[in-house]
Amino acid sequence: MQTLAVDHPLVAHKLTTLRDVRTDSPTFRRLADELVTLLAYEATRDVRVVEATVKTPLVEAQGVQLASPKPLVVPILRAGLGMLDGMTRLLPTAEVGFLGMIRDEGTLQAETYATRLPDDLSGRQCYVLDPMLATGGTLAAAIRLLFERGADGVTAICLLAAPEGLKYLEQAFADISAPVRVVTAAIDSHLNEQGFIMPGLGDAGDRLYGAV
């Protein structure tokens, strides 16, 4: 597994405001959206393209276009939905699938309550959106599901990742030959006893959708 913590002053600046407990939901949503676009720029570095020829007003020019089949973007509801617009701004022709997952805050086990994905993902590059990679249980279940349907490679885009979750994913997909990548704005210190990322930003879903 490959992990990339994007090192960029604008990413760090926006993340700092996102962490701030005084940041209200509308500002949190806007910042999450902006951050995702910055992360998506790095996360899509490996997106497959094919050579293409276009005519400029003057002459033919060689370039590239996105290869087929088009990439699949999968936000994990609820909090991942706050990352969808920022991602599709960069990849407007991608197909979008949905996964609804919730972590039991007692056992920290993830449960899937909604799945709306193409049945056959053969040859598809998938980009999973979830702001928080904590224990890694949610992302591991999501990535496993995509591989079961034939995905060619999975890149997870997270706002924050915990070392425990990264280690968990590393072990879970050690035997998979297809690429598994995590792109994040920062790797935080650790998880607390409740499974929350420290210093973190709190409950991403609640902060995005106004429950706090």
Ligand X SMILES: O=P(O)(O)OC[C@H]1O[C@H](OP(=O)(O)OP(=O)(O)O)[C@H](O)[C@@H]1O
Ligand Y SMILES: O=c1cc[nH]c(=O)[nH]1
Instruction: Rule CB under 6 A: choose which of 156, 157, 197, 208 binds ligand Y.
Output: 197
Q: Are strands 180-187 and 153-161 parallel, antiparallel or unpaired?
A: parallel
CA angle 201, 171, 72 (to 5 degrees): 65
Reply yes or no: is the peptide bond before residue 89 cis, omega within 30 of 0: no
Q: Should residue 196 be labelled a site residue for ligand Y when binding is judged by CB under 6 A?
A: yes
Is the separation of the CB atoms in 131 and 188 below 8 Å?
A: no
188 is known as an active-site residue: no
* Residue 132 assigned to a binding site: yes
- Taken as a whole, the chain contains a residue count of 212
Q: Using CB under 6 A, which residues numbered 18 to 37 contact ligand X?
A: none
The answer to whether 115 is a known catalytic residue is no
Active-site annotation holder among 85, 103, 112, 115 = 103
Query: Which one of 30, 85, 112, 206 is the catalytic residue?
Result: 206
Q: Rule CB under 5 A: is residue 205 a binding residue for Mg ion?
A: yes
Residue 32 phi, psi dihedral angles, 5° rounding: -60, -40
The correct pick among 3, 138, 155, 184 for binding ligand X (CB under 6 A) is 138
Beta strand 95-96 pairing with 190-191 = unpaired
Active-site amino acid positions: 103, 107, 203, 206
Name the binding residues for 5-phospho-alpha-D-ribose 1-diphosphate.
Answer: 78, 103, 130-138, 203
Interface residues toward Mg ion, by CB under 5 A:
203, 205
